[in-house]
A = this chain, B = another copy of it.
Amino acid sequence: MTYNFGAGPCILPQNVFQEASKAVLDFNGLSILEVSHRHKDFVAVMDETIELVKKVLNVPDGYSIAFLQGGATLGFSIAALNMMRSGKAGYINTGTWASGAIKEAGKVGMNVNTLASSEDKNFGYIPKDFAVPSDLDYLHFTSNNTIYGTQYQKFPKYSGSIVCDMSSDIFSRKINVADFDLIYAGAQKNLGPAGVALYIVKDDVLSQSTSKFMPTYMDLAAQIAKGSMLNTPPVFSIYVSMLNLRDAIANGGVAVIEKENNAKAELLYKEIDTNPLFTATVNKDDRSKMNATFLLSDESLKDEFDKMWNDANIVGLKGHRSVGGYRASMYNALPLSSVKVLVDVMNEFTRSKG
């Protein structure tokens, strides 16, 4: 048994792996890898995956779903291109991915206003007090920051359009889709394997772009008109996403998942806060329930602690170089029991130090 705390691509439910493995050998008589995307059996997969996204997130009427390639990184450009009106947008900079979104929006000609940033404290908090000009094409933020372990517990309000990169916490908690004009998310955390990105877009904002530059692949209106089959979609990644969403429904949907994620986060942060050998890197209010970042109080104990969790078959715990220390990613598929294993190791480690 391996306990995979990796930041992504990450753990998915074991039964999803089982079913995906079978489909590589036999999906209605062919391998899922050799089925035409135009075949009715795959069209049914695409349709079901779209319906499952709508069901799990309670997506209201007037929104469409697309599955594109290129991850959130291409999404940075796609978001800016599709939402460009006057050409002025507001961004909140909460670290690496938010910074990337800012950079890419600028690269497609957007005049980017960075309205707030937590760079002053190595992105260890979520900025809260900032003014938002009323004339923005949209306000953009990143809901969860894998690298720095921060997460919006309450989303910013804005009377205009809101665009959100939810790559690392979509499907982990209830959201009110109606608050957003565009949500985009790389799949490889709580949706499916790497290779597909989800777009949830308000129909009203489609085809309104003023950008002179718009490759058809990046045009959400064109993609949605073709049902994400403008060209060959990433068949297998979508298929596995469908399996995973079916599993989410079978397990009670996002309300139950959110409760479990809260319990996991509570357990781990309690240990970090009470164990004298560890310190959290993030403000209590802004801590991510997906990625808990923490440091050793005494760096000289590193080798000893590393040996202990490695011996316990924990993998993926090394922190990102931007923060150092440790990062425990607790995506949907990671059971509470795995968090208990980690907490026990932390406990045992401290006991062994007397």
By a beta-carbon cutoff of 8 Å, the part of chain A in contact with chain B is 2, 4, 6-12, 17-18, 20-22, 24-25, 29-31, 33-37, 39, 68-74, 76-77, 103-104, 107-109, 186, 188, 193-196, 212-218, 230-237, 240, 315-316
- Residues of B within 8 Å of A233, CB to CB, are 194
Residue contact B12 to A73, C-beta cutoff 8 Å: no
Query: Can you pick out 20 interface pairs between chain A and chain B where the beta carbons lie within 8 Å of each other?
Result: A6-B34, A7-B36, A9-B34, A12-B33, A17-B31, A17-B34, A21-B22, A30-B315, A36-B316, A69-B195, A71-B217, A71-B231, A73-B217, A103-B216, A108-B213, A186-B232, A188-B232, A193-B236, A195-B195, A195-B237
Alpha-carbon gap, A7 to B39, bound state (A):
11
User: Among B109, B194, B212, B230, which residue has its beta carbon within 8 angstroms of that of A235?
Assistant: B194
Q: Which of A196, A214, A231, A237 has the most CB of B within 10 A?
A: A231
Alpha-carbon gap, A230 to B35, bound state (A):
29
- Residues of B within 8 Å of A213, CB to CB, are 107-109, 213
Decide yes or no: A193 and B33 within 8 Å by CB, A21-B25, A24-B20 being known contacts: yes
Residue contact B235 to A236, C-beta cutoff 8 Å: no
Alpha-carbon gap, A68 to B103, bound state (A):
20
Q: How many copies does the complex hold?
A: 2
User: Among B74, B216, B231, B232, which residue has its beta carbon within 8 angstroms of that of A107?
Assistant: B216
Residue contact B72 to A6, C-beta cutoff 8 Å: no
- Residues of B within 8 Å of A104, CB to CB, are 215-217
Decide yes or no: A37 and B231 within 8 Å by CB, A213-B213, A237-B236 being known contacts: no
Residue contact B9 to A18, C-beta cutoff 8 Å: no
Task: Name the 8 nearest CB pairs between A and B, nearest first.
Answer: A195-B234, A69-B69, A77-B215, A21-B24, A73-B231, A33-B193, A195-B195, A74-B217
Alpha-carbon gap, A293 to B40, bound state (A):
22
Residue contact B194 to A236, C-beta cutoff 8 Å: yes
Alpha-carbon gap, A107 to B213, bound state (A):
7
Alpha-carbon gap, A96 to B231, bound state (A):
12
Residue contact A107 to B237, C-beta cutoff 8 Å: no
Closest CB in chain B relative to A65 CB, distance in Å: 18
Decide yes or no: A4 and B73 within 8 Å by CB, A215-B108, A234-B237 being known contacts: no
Q: Which residue of B lies closest to A333 (CB)?
A: B34
Q: Which residue of B lies closest to A74 (CB)?
A: B217
Residue contact B29 to A2, C-beta cutoff 8 Å: yes
- Residues of B within 8 Å of A20, CB to CB, are 24, 33
Q: Which of A17, A76, A194 has the most CB of B within 10 A?
A: A194
Residue contact A73 to B109, C-beta cutoff 8 Å: no
User: Among B10, B194, B214, B215, which residue has its beta carbon within 8 angstroms of that of A234?
Assistant: B194
Alpha-carbon gap, A218 to B76, bound state (A):
12
- Residues of B within 8 Å of A214, CB to CB, are 107
Alpha-carbon gap, A76 to B215, bound state (A):
9
Closest CB in chain B relative to A196 CB, distance in Å: 8
Decide yes or no: A216 and B73 within 8 Å by CB, A17-B24, A237-B236 being known contacts: yes
- Residues of B within 8 Å of A73, CB to CB, are 216-217, 230-231
- Residues of B within 8 Å of A196, CB to CB, are 195
Closest CB in chain B relative to A242 CB, distance in Å: 14
Q: Which residue of B lies closest to A232 (CB)?
A: B194
